[in-house]
Chains A and B, each alone.
Chain A
Amino acid sequence: MAITAIIAIAVILCSLTVLFYRRYVKKAFDSIDRVLDGVLARNTELSLEAAADSRLSKLTHKAIKIMQMNVLDISQTTQEKEIIQSFISDMSHQMKTPLSGVAMYTDLLLEGRMTETERQEFLSRIKTGTEKLQWMMDSLVKMSRLEVGAVELSPVAAGIKQTISDSISAVYGAAAKRNISLQTAYFEDMALLHDRKWTGEAITNILENAVKYSPSDGEIKISVEALPIYTKISVTDYGVGIAPDEWNSIFKRFYRGRNAQGVAGAGLGLYLASLIFQKQGGYILVESKPGKYTTFSMFLQNCKK
């Protein structure tokens, strides 16, 4: 009798368990199904279930993340398109000025009525114009190749001393012409993660800037200092300086500082330099007191010990 009762209870319990389990599984699958339907319908309002502390909520949360990643990819593509468009319009605008100068002086030369001094003057202006165009073309090509990732920087552990001294030699002539002295504080050579060619290019840009905005007979100081994660390469000039509210803007493409009016430039050098540093996990910071000094600090990652 007792045995029959136990068996009956056991059977009932088993069937109940099976029943409940079936319902649970069905419910879970239904919920998963709903979540997936939401993903398919690109519905980001799966919110209710994502904010509870349950298995399903975690799943929903992940589904939403996947969806957001897709949305992000799409919006990034659109954004890139816009960047390219604005880039082209900026660029054509920047090229117009030297180009129209060249066209005008060529026309004047073709007309022919002028003194020899005037002729020489026009020719030298054309030369300046074409040089500027040439420099812009070079920078633009580098920039676009870096931006679209056509060139991969390959940061490897290499001594930084050589890279810095290469850059110093590159601007030495321009500095000497205006009697500006370049002073490098002594430092121990160290291995930093960097792509020598491109990093050299970026440091040269920063140095060229320092030379450009330094007064004649001035000096430029270069120093290197190791921090726990990065090593800092600083270049200080004692020229016009940059106001704090411009510190964020000067690294942007085609941005010319307020103090840079009247000095030749296209707003590309700093942008290119900061792009190069970013591409290898570094960065550039500026600090300045207008009328006193400007320090550009370039940071490169130390090699892991």
Chain B
Amino acid sequence: MAVLKTESLKKYYGKDPNTVKALDGVDLEIQEGEFVAVVGTSGSGKSTLLHMLGGLDTPTDGKVIVGGKDISGMTDEQLTIFRRRNVGFVFQNYNLVPILNVYENIVLPIELDGNTVDKGFVENIIETLGLAEKKTNLPNNLSGGQQQRVAIARALATKPSILLADEPTGNLDSKTSQDVLGVLKMTSTRFHQTMVMITHNEQIAQLADRVIRIEDGKIFAAKGR
């Protein structure tokens, strides 16, 4: 079953004759449990694609279908709720809340949805990501790799079915990247998540089940497994 699907997805910025075609007719299908890497140079439209998949931005034309639901027609409020329950995000710059400690950051999205925290599950994630001793630290006391691991834990804590990662290792040195990447892959396998990861780094992309290449807003070669 395709958990994520786009149909001739388009995103244009600006007005004629100066339109920028960030996405120009993207048809994509991602299966449940698949780990897909989207590779492309900067300005190729890969981040725009990820934002569309996660309901962070609305398309100019075309459809985004998540779990059989067309999200391109949802209102902002519906989208917010949709994201909170279905999608986990990991960004290049971590986006942690600086005044909350590690644990509070991780459980924040659960509490935002008005749910009680599944303590056992969250502890399990914290343990897996090697953050057990850092629970009460503030983000600015952590290294880049540790901060990204907190962001991964936060993304996993709500048990989302889809994990979207935008250059998750973009700010990390190559060794730390390998470490964080391994963790991302291991957890997504363990919690049966579909993962879409954006990167410009071939070394990072090789762990994916499938690599999709995007150039000038179009997919130009998809290598199957």
Interface segment out of the listed B6-14, B40-48, B173-181: B173-181
Q: Is B196 an interface residue (CB 8 A)?
A: no
CB distance from B22 to the nearest CB of A (A): 25
Instruction: Kindly supply a per-residue 1/0 record for chain A positions 243-269, scoring 1 wherever the CB is within 8 Å of any chain B CB and 0 otherwise.
Output: 011011101100000000000000000
Contacting residues, chain B, for A297 (C-beta < 8 A): 178
Instruction: Kindly supply a per-residue 1/0 record for chain B positions 181-206, scoring 1 wherever the CB is within 8 Å of any chain A CB and 0 otherwise.
Output: 01101100100100000000011011
Q: Is A52 an interface residue (CB 8 A)?
A: yes
Query: Which residue of A is nearest B74, CB measured?
Result: A51
Q: Find out whether the CB atom of B206 lies under 8 angstroms from the CB atom of A227.
A: no
Query: Which residue of A is nearest B174, CB measured?
Result: A287
Q: Find out whether the CB atom of A283 lies under 8 angstroms from the CB atom of B185.
A: yes
Question: Which of B81, B130, B132 contacts A57 (CB under 8 A)?
Answer: B81
Given A72-B33, A75-B1, A304-B127: A227 in contact with B67 (beta carbons within 8 A): no
Query: Which residue of B is nearest A243, CB measured?
Result: B202
Q: Is B98 an interface residue (CB 8 A)?
A: no
Q: How far is the CA of A50 from the CA of B3 in the complex (A)?
A: 17
Q: Is B207 an interface residue (CB 8 A)?
A: yes
Q: Is A169 an interface residue (CB 8 A)?
A: no
Number of A-B contacts (CB under 8 A): 92
Given A52-B81, A75-B32, A283-B185: A248 in contact with B206 (beta carbons within 8 A): yes
CB distance from B12 to the nearest CB of A (A): 27
Q: Find out whether the CB atom of B32 lies under 8 angstroms from the CB atom of A227.
A: no
Q: Find out whether the CB atom of A285 lies under 8 angstroms from the CB atom of B145.
A: no
Q: Find out whether the CB atom of A227 lies under 8 angstroms from the CB atom of B186.
A: no
Given A68-B161, A285-B203, A285-B206: A249 in contact with B223 (beta carbons within 8 A): yes
Q: Find out whether the CB atom of A247 lies under 8 angstroms from the CB atom of B175.
A: no
CB distance from A280 to the nearest CB of B (A): 10
Q: Is B110 an interface residue (CB 8 A)?
A: no
Q: Find out whether the CB atom of A53 lies under 8 angstroms from the CB atom of B33.
A: no
Given A65-B161, A283-B185: A228 in contact with B130 (beta carbons within 8 A): yes
Q: Find out whether the CB atom of A299 lies under 8 angstroms from the CB atom of B182.
A: yes
Q: Find out whether the CB atom of A244 lies under 8 angstroms from the CB atom of B202.
A: yes
CB distance from B127 to the nearest CB of A (A): 7
Q: Find out whether the CB atom of A287 lies under 8 angstroms from the CB atom of B203.
A: yes
Given A51-B74, A252-B225: A299 in contact with B145 (beta carbons within 8 A): no
Q: Find out whether the CB atom of A232 lies under 8 angstroms from the CB atom of B178.
A: yes
Q: How far is the CA of A228 from the CA of B132 in the complex (A)?
A: 13
Q: How far is the CA of A44 from the CA of B3 in the complex (A)?
A: 12
Q: Is A229 an interface residue (CB 8 A)?
A: yes
Question: Which of A65, A225, A230 contacts B182 (CB under 8 A)?
Answer: A230
Q: Is B108 an interface residue (CB 8 A)?
A: no
Query: Which residue of B is nearest A57, CB measured?
Result: B81
Given A227-B179, A229-B130, A230-B182: A248 in contact with B203 (beta carbons within 8 A): no
Query: Which residue of A is nearest B77, CB measured?
Result: A53
Q: Is B82 an interface residue (CB 8 A)?
A: yes
Query: Which residue of A is nearest B178, CB measured?
Result: A285
Contacting residues, chain A, for B113 (C-beta < 8 A): 58
Query: Which residue of A is nearest B2, CB measured?
Result: A75
CB distance from A228 to the nearest CB of B (A): 6
Contacting residues, chain B, for A51 (C-beta < 8 A): 74, 78, 81-82
Q: How far is the CA of A73 from the CA of B163 in the complex (A)?
A: 19
Q: Is B122 an interface residue (CB 8 A)?
A: no
Q: Find out whether the CB atom of B67 lies under 8 angstroms from the CB atom of A281.
A: no
Q: Find out whether the CB atom of A247 lies under 8 angstroms from the CB atom of B178.
A: no
CB distance from B194 to the nearest CB of A (A): 10
CB distance from B85 to the nearest CB of A (A): 6
Contacting residues, chain B, for A228 (C-beta < 8 A): 130, 145-146, 176, 179
Q: Of residues 41 to 91 in B, which have CB atoms within 8 Å of A's CB atoms?
A: 67-69, 74, 77-78, 81-82, 85
19 A–B contacts from the bound complex (CB under 8 Å): A53-B77, A61-B85, A68-B1, A68-B161, A227-B178, A228-B130, A229-B182, A232-B178, A247-B202, A247-B203, A248-B211, A281-B186, A283-B182, A285-B206, A285-B207, A286-B206, A287-B203, A299-B182, A304-B132
Among all A-B residue pairs, the 9 with the closest Cβ atoms: A51-B78, A247-B206, A227-B179, A44-B68, A244-B202, A248-B206, A47-B69, A75-B1, A72-B32
Q: A53-B81, A72-B33 are in contact. List 9 more A-B contacts (CB 8 A).
A: A51-B78, A51-B81, A68-B1, A71-B1, A75-B32, A225-B175, A248-B202, A283-B182, A304-B127
